[in-house]
């Protein structure tokens, strides 16, 4: 199996830009997905296939990819964006994996 590595925490002031990274060898070959999870709630998909945004997700959420690192960017962060964020991918042997999660704090 393989691993996806995320920073444990990111802090940003309202209106600023937050960037959450996710690194792993498989990301050069497989797509990444990002989820937002607020306390006591189920995760919500916010980015799929590295850069695509599901309907209903605000435009301030975007994704990018470079080599073995993918990045979730939240532009103009709002207080409601405070949550845990998880990256996820899968390998060719039908094994899915999540990153350890990043707690986004809006100061």
* Closer CB to other proteins, 12 or 97, in the complex: 97
> Which of 7, 12, 43, 62 contacts other proteins by CB under 8 A?
43
Least gap, CB of 38 to other proteins (angstroms): 13
DSSP letter for each residue of 69-96: EEEEEESS--GGG-EEEEEEEE-TTS-E
Of the pair 13, 56, the CB lying nearest other proteins is at: 56
Minimum gap (Å) between residue 36 Cβ and other proteins: 11
At closest approach, how far in Å is the CB of 54 from other proteins?
7
Which among 3, 95, 1, 99 is positioned nearest to 43, based on CA atoms?
99
**Residue 96 interacting with other proteins (CB under 8 A):** yes
The burial of 37, by beta-carbon neighbours within 10 Å (0-12 exposed, 13-18 middle, 19 or more buried), is given as middle
Q: Does 57 bind other proteins (CB under 8 A)?
A: no
């Amino acid at each position: 199996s393989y691993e996806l590595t995320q920073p444990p925490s990111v802090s940003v002031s309202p209106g600023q830009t937050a960037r959450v990274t996710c690194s792993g060898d498989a990301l050069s070959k497989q797509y990444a997905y990002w989820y937002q999870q607020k306390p006591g709630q189920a995760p919500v998909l916010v980015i799929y296939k590295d850069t695509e945004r599901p309907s209903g997700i605000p435009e301030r959420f975007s994704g990018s990819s470079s080599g073995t690192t993918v990045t979730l960017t939240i532009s103009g962060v709002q207080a409601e964006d405070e949550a845990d964020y998880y990256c996820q991918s899968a390998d060719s042997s039908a094994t899915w994996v999540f990153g350890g999660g990043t707690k986004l704090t809006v100061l």
